[in-house]
């Protein structure tokens, strides 16, 4: 969840909260790294999917979906999946 001073930089769209500055930095950084050849496109896509993978681990998700997303989140640990979320379900706190 954003701190008090950052709440005006978070956009809520339905059940999603999007931290605009962090999202631009996160996805823009990935796009830039792919554009200059530092990352191959499949790896860039996997890294870009991490916030969405983390959303699928929500306790209200069906168990099979949670199981697969927890596997993917574990696989994403080496590329920083433990960082603060840029996109999350509304009301979902970062672990």
DSSP string across 29-43: HHHHHHHTTSS-HHH
pTM for the structure as a whole: 0.69
pLDDT tens track for 26-39: 899 999 999 999 99
What does DSSP assign to residue 13? E
Backbone angles phi, psi at 9, to 5 degrees: -100, 5
- Mean pLDDT of each 10-residue bin along the chain, 95 residues long: 64 86 92 96 91 82 88 77 63 54
Helices 63-76 and 41-55, interaxial angle, to 10°?
130
Residue-level pLDDT at 24 = 92
Contact 79, 46 (CB under 8 A): yes
């Amino acid at each position: 969840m954003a701190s008090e001073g950052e709440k005006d930089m978070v956009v809520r769209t339905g059940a999603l909260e999007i931290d605009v500055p962090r999202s631009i930095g996160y996805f823009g950084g990935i796009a830039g790294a792919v554009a200059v050849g530092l990352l191959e496109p499949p790896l860039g896509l996997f890294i870009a999917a991490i916030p969405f993978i983390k959303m699928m681990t929500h306790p209200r998700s069906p168990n099979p979906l949670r199981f697969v997303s927890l596997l993917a989140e574990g696989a994403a640990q080496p590329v920083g999946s433990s960082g603060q979320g840029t996109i999350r379900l509304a009301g979902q706190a970062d672990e």
